[in-house]
Structure 1
Amino acid sequence: MLLPNGTFYHPTCASSQTSPVLITADTAIPLGGKGSTTNINIPGYISSARVWYASEDVLKFYIVWNPATNSPTMVIPSAADPSDASADVNWGFVELSYTGSGLFANVSYVDFVGLIMGIRLEEKAPVNGTGVQMAQGLQTNAIKSICDGLTKQTGIDGLEWEKLCLADSKGNLLRVLSPSLYISDQPTAFENLWTSYNDKVWKQYQSQVLTIDSQSTNGNIACQVQQSDGLLHCAGSSTTYARPTANEIFGCNEGPFAISAGANDIHKAIVPRLCAAFHRSTLLSNGGNVQPSLPASSYYADQASNWYSKFVHQFEGDGRGYAFAYDDVAPNGGADVSGSVSTGNPGTLRIFVGGSG
């Protein structure tokens, strides 16, 4: 954790600490008012880090001994648990890695939409172009707009979309949970969202070939559903693919989308592209027999779609920001909707809190 004085703090606890204990060190870095800038220098390399932001209150982090790893483990705030100590706080984060290879950051809504923010990465002495990359993040009133859209969608299909919206103790909209996070507590939610769509996909690709563009030296991968076992078989893959459930689609890491230690490169290329196609409902679209190949304007055209992702992108200033795990999948030359920025020659990363207007 980074302290206000610009040094790293490493919280720890004894091996006897079996219950989470509050980290009391002052790790909060106060920000100024609207339009102000707070400068922060990172004293060393960090990997898979987060820059956390909270409005009107500080977030509470805990430490506990983890016998599985034989080391202390940090307990971070939960966006979904109403009993969490930070449940009534408006907060969010930017994901960040800064190593000898460069800097990578992204605006992520894979788990939830909370405190609105955007990012701008400026290269040091750029060689080509302006050396500036940006992900604007969500518009200032995006949470209300997203929830209005989700409520309308519940009225159309009767599913739990409107329940993704959470209010604070005063009844004010606070955050929007992703379907995957909501399902972690409500496992039967959305279970029939893709049932009919799956039936049509499996029927179509019994007689047609589904081509997965690996976008690598593995080239195009031919896939087809075999009537004998009802599974999708892809040439050269280390596994076959069953019809995914809604839970598996939202998470992209279980069932046919699980990547085991022994998985080959073909399977590793198929998983993100196939899962993204289900989220965006492009498998039955004209041209959807090649994945990825369609532009972002073709995403979410079917009722069997991730409507959370659809509305998140709709109310982003530039349509960029991860709304599910493999939202960085895009056709060659297509628009990057993931909201990530990176460079091997980093200068300044600017994080804007409050929205893009």
Structure 2
Amino acid sequence: MATRRLFLGGLAASALGGIALASELRPRSTEPTTAGVRRLAVDAHTLPLTIVNNTGNWDNASIHIYIVGVDRITGRQSRITPEGAIVPVSLADNGPDGYADYSIPLESSGNTTINLSSMSGRVYFSLGEKLKFRVNPGDALVYPAGWVSADPNYEVMHDCMEFTFDDTGMYCNTTMVDMFSVPLAIDLTGEQSQTTGTLVDGGRAGIFSGVGQDPDFAQLVVDDLRVIAPGHGINSGLFDANYFDPYIDQVWSKYSSENLTVNANNRTFTGRVNGDVFEFDGGVSAFSRPTTSDVLYCNGALDAPNDGVTGPVAAVLGSGLNRSTLHDNPVAPSTDASSFYRTPVSNHYSRVLHENAVDGRSYGFPFDDVAEFASYVQDHAPTGITVTLTPF
């Protein structure tokens, strides 16, 4: 399965947020390749995207969509126009206020369908107000950073889904890795019909309430606009930069005297902490003790190169730390969801997201795809994709 960590190759980081988006969503060497898969049942470079407004509180005129990303044919940062054409972004797109209006209006009533082109990107939705994108010199697009109070879109309710669509298929997810605001559901049709991202009844309120009730996470709730992911909360001074330290210490201490077995990429690796470094056999690069930020962002000491060896092990370690399963289970990854997030120190932001998802799947952190708990679907012969803004 391809993952969010491989989305959106080459996209610029937000100048204010400073967070680089993940690279393109395509199968990686940690998992089976798509060599030999059937090609698309539709035009290899277009796929109908249907938007359904079931919010109940927002009419179509109040909702704006934006489709931005990297053109898979040219490699340039691009956008989809209201007419369904894919065009490169340009510094000249910035208006007198310094921002580019890339909005696509919904139909006056009913559903809206527009063709997706071959690209890796995001579909943004803003409610009430339009989003302000900016193109920097070099035709580099700056994306909204809703977790940064100085971002021009901070006061705008918005959210997004991510996708890569090319001649091998459609790969897409609903992501909460950066934040959660607007409940979105994906229906992908093709070789089969798949749905993900749907929340339980009252799920949005449940997420805001659930995160808000935890004193360590409560500051991540921004009014009724959004819930910020804890990694971004560190950068904003809203979350303890040392939060995971006690659990990391327990894990490092335990495996200094016994082995951890990691099953990843159809291989088994054995590791033990030596000094302050987690060492594994099988050619895996050693892991220094991660920080809380490393755990939440799944980078730094837990960086996962696309090498089929260190990368898969890093993903398992990162997921086990976020789900707080590594200390109690010397064989990883744990696949029993009932054992996740059971300790006081855990990624309770992600826990609450999963608790409020109909299928139990969500993208609460970048390695949430480990053991297939992410709100992700793919199809190698897609015929259409529908994104529904669900009631809240």
| TM-score > 0.5, shorter chain as reference | yes
Q: CA deviation at 1:20?
A: 8.9
Name the counterpart of 2:325: 282
Distance in 2, Cα, partners of 1:204 & 1:297: 22
Q: CA deviation at 1:238?
A: 4.4
Q: Tell me, yes or no, if structure 1 residue 326 matches structure 2 residue 362.
A: no
Q: Is the 8 A contact 1:137 1:321 kept in 2?
A: no
Q: CA deviation at 1:8?
A: 2.0
Q: Is the 8 A contact 1:22 1:61 kept in 2?
A: yes
Name the counterpart of 1:352: 388
295, 298, 310: which one pairs with 1:267? 310
Name the counterpart of 1:68: none
Q: Tell me, yes or no, if structure 1 residue 63 matches structure 2 residue 113.
A: no
132, 140, 163: which one pairs with 2:219? 163
Q: Is the 8 A contact 2:212 2:221 kept in 1?
A: no
Name the counterpart of 1:199: 249
Q: Tell me, yes or no, if structure 1 residue 104 matches structure 2 residue 171.
A: yes
Q: CA deviation at 1:259?
A: 4.2
Q: CA deviation at 1:74?
A: 1.0
Q: CA deviation at 1:38?
A: 1.2
RMSD: 2.2
Q: Tell me, yes or no, if structure 1 residue 244 matches structure 2 residue 290.
A: yes
Distance in 1, Cα, partners of 2:251 & 2:352: 24
Q: CA deviation at 1:203?
A: 2.3
Q: Is the 8 A contact 1:20 1:64 kept in 2?
A: no
**Partner secondary structure for residue 222 of structure 1:** strand
Distance in 2, Cα, partners of 1:79 & 1:27: 17
Aligned AA (2:126)? A
Q: Tell me, yes or no, if structure 1 residue 4 matches structure 2 residue 82.
A: yes
Runs of 5+ unmatched residues, structure 1: 66-70, 168-172, 331-335
155, 162, 182: which one pairs with 2:233? 182
Name the counterpart of 2:377: 341
Name the counterpart of 2:358: 317
Aligned AA (1:317)? V
**Partner secondary structure for residue 233 of structure 2:** helix
Name the counterpart of 1:122: 189
CA deviation string 1:210-237 (max 9, x = no partner): 0010132xx11000112xx232110133
Aligned AA (1:222)? T
Distance in 1, Cα, partners of 2:338 & 2:154: 36
Q: CA deviation at 1:30?
A: 1.7
Q: Is the 8 A contact 1:149 1:311 kept in 2?
A: yes
CA deviation string 1:110-151 (max 9, x = no partner): 00001111101010xx3xxxx111103334643432232223
**Partner secondary structure for residue 313 of structure 1:** helix
212, 222, 226: which one pairs with 2:270? 222
Distance in 1, Cα, partners of 2:118 & 2:269: 38
5, 25, 28: which one pairs with 2:104? 28
Name the counterpart of 1:170: none
CA deviation string 1:269-295 (max 9, x = no partner): 21100000000000122xx11111331
Aligned AA (1:40)? I
Distance in 2, Cα, partners of 1:139 & 1:291: 29
CA deviation string 1:130-187 (max 9, x = no partner): x111103334643432232223221xxxx3x1110012xxxxx110000111122329
The 3 A distance-change label for structure 1 pair 6 and 291 is same
The 3 A distance-change label for structure 1 pair 31 and 316 is farther
**Partner secondary structure for residue 140 of structure 2:** strand
CA deviation string 1:42-100 (max 9, x = no partner): 2x3112x11111112221111110xxxxx211112221222332222211111011101
Deviates more, 1:87-96 or 1:107-116: 87-96
Structure 2 length as normaliser, TM-score? Answer: 0.74
46, 51, 55: which one pairs with 2:119? 46
Runs of 5+ unmatched residues, structure 2: 1-78
**Partner secondary structure for residue 262 of structure 2:** strand
Q: CA deviation at 1:5?
A: 1.3
Distance in 2, Cα, partners of 1:153 & 1:192: 16
Q: Is the 8 A contact 1:272 1:326 kept in 2?
A: yes
* Aligned positions, number: 312
Aligned AA (1:351)? V
Name the counterpart of 1:333: none
The 3 A distance-change label for structure 1 pair 113 and 203 is same
Distance in 1, Cα, partners of 2:103 & 2:387: 18
**Partner secondary structure for residue 360 of structure 2:** coil
The 3 A distance-change label for structure 1 pair 205 and 41 is same
State the percentage of identical aligned residues: 25
Distance in 1, Cα, partners of 2:352 & 2:180: 11
Distance in 1, Cα, partners of 2:345 & 2:132: 38
Q: CA deviation at 1:32?
A: 5.0
Q: Is the 8 A contact 2:325 2:334 kept in 1?
A: no
Q: Is the 8 A contact 2:316 2:333 kept in 1?
A: yes
